[in-house]
Amino acid sequence: MINTTEIEHIKCLIIGSGPAGYTAAIYAARADLSPVIYTGIVPGGQLTQTTDVDNFPGYPQGITGPIMMEDLKAQAERFGTQVRFGYATEVQFSTDNSVHKVQIDGSKWVTADTVIIATGATAKWLGLPSEEKYNGFGVSACAVCDGFFFKGQDVAIVGAGDTAAEEATYLAKLCRKVYMLVRRDEFRASKAMIHRVQNTANIEVLYNTQTEEILGNEQGVNAVRIKNNITQAESVLDVTGFFVAIGHKPNTELFQNVLDMDETGYLLTKADSTATNIAGVFACGDVQDHVYRQAITAAGTGCMAALEAERYLASRAD
């Protein structure tokens, strides 16, 4: 039993600090909801691991991911948001319109009238040391985000599902050559996506192929060493970009058996809304978006979540 007599009460608690979380904070603060953000283990989220961001409106010369997130943080703080380093470790969401309870850092409990979840998703990686070494310097998990930087160049992409097929065809519009590395002897993608890949002239699919090492220098990636897992023959592809498209994992372990989610763990929200199945709890950004996964769409749903939190509180006050 939690003793709530000395627990801090928050009108709008935001869990997570990527574009969705900070945008939610900006709107919530301007609506006098006195938002408090707990940043999570990686303040700023995935964008802090991105070198250049060229597709977020308002930055005509581009911006680095870490600087952009500092800008969003400063803007949220300008309107009175409290940004705190810490992460949620347990939740007790109310189903009877009373306050929600969230444990921070495994010890401190807070209560909240509304909770906005913006914990994001984490890209799945191959686990190679060279992959980590060149992450942001030729290695990427988002073709839509970073493909532009490889215009007219040769690149490789790993994956066999719909996302990999879609990103390969996207890259093919920009790049001279796209090598698609598939571990098995077939795709996992839908027939429509397979046909699209097969009908794209500058995509070469290499089946039964696994990545052994990403090669490069101080300028970044310049090749990838691959192996045919049937013949064991190794070869080197001269590429300047290496894309990993083997999926994302939403950061939703905390909400298992509490909030509705799909079979892969993405939180389910109501149609045209960020509302979850529990009143007063909203989800925005990549934690509930497995389709677009862009900074700008995350920011848009962060705005939606704050507006819905404001309306929810107003309806309770009536």
Q: Which of 145, 175, 284, 303 is catalytic?
A: 145
Q: Which of 12, 142, 175, 284 is catalytic?
A: 142
Instruction: Find residue 77's DSSP bridge partners.
Output: none
Q: Which of 12, 54, 96, 146 is catalytic?
A: 146
Residue 175 annotated in active site: no
281 burial level (CB within 10 Å; 0-12, 13-18, 19+): buried
Name the residues annotated as catalytic.
142, 145-146
